[in-house]
Chain A
Amino acid sequence: TQLLEQSPQFLSIQEGENLTVYCNSSSVFSSLQWYRQEPGEGPVLLVTVVTGGEVKKLKRLTFQFGDARKDSSLHITAAQPGDTGLYLCAADTGRRALTFGSGTRLQVQP
């Protein structure tokens, strides 16, 4: 059983469309991280959210941490082909190590 459930698993959209991916859990986290992984590379940290209800923006990417600190979302506005990749959320689930979600694989068609 995945402690961090990500949805959707796959997403194929056209350039210019908006999208939202979700990371959900029944556990409460002190913080949650979002990564993007491109083919042949390791994950790269995009953002860390710490406070319940927190919203962080990174250019066209908007990250939100749920009020109860159990879930998070990533919204991309006007997606571009360069946004293509595997998006992973990760959190410390109490094991002093990061637990990663199963990921959302995003394909943005030009």
Chain B
Amino acid sequence: KAGVTQTPRYLIKTRGQQVTLSCSPISGHRSVSWYQQTPGQGLQFLFEYFSETQRNKGNFPGRFSGRQFSNSRSEMNVSTLELGDSALYLCASSPAPGTGVEQYFGPGTRLTVT
């Protein structure tokens, strides 16, 4: 069974631009969560989608948004990029929503904002 895939793996953007990251979950998994990982703040929860609906959202500004499609693939968008948005963005999929279900992480997208 193929794992979680994320595209692109690396991205360099300029301040003020916007970016869209993509995540394809494991086949049959309907829940997708997104996390931001930085050296200073560690791994922080962004949001969770299940059946095309945002089920939960972390403490991030409105510049961070996401969506999920009917095939469970998910995208996250960051508008008006800031230098502090430089991070590894991780996507995790699971068969069902909630923290009690095992999540499978993708390799992440490394975003650098200059």
Chain B interface (Cβ < 8 Å from any Cβ of A): 4, 33, 35, 42-45, 48, 55-56, 58, 90-92, 98-100, 102-108
Say yes or no: is A97 at the interface (Cβ < 8 Å to chain B): yes
| Min CB–CB distance A39 → chain B (angstroms) | 10
| Number of A-B residue pairs at CB separation under 8 A | 56
Contact assessment for B100 and A42 in the assembled complex, using a CB-CB cutoff below 8 Å? no
Q: Hey, which chain B residues are within 8 Å of A45, CB to CB?
A: 102-104
Interface of B (DSSP majority class):
strand
Other A-B pairs, 6, CB within 8 Å; known A95-B56, A98-B33: A31-B100, A42-B107, A92-B100, A98-B99, A100-B43, A101-B42
Count residues of chain A with CB under 8 A from any CB of chain B.
Answer: 23
The answer to whether A85 has its CB under 8 Å from any CB of chain B is: no
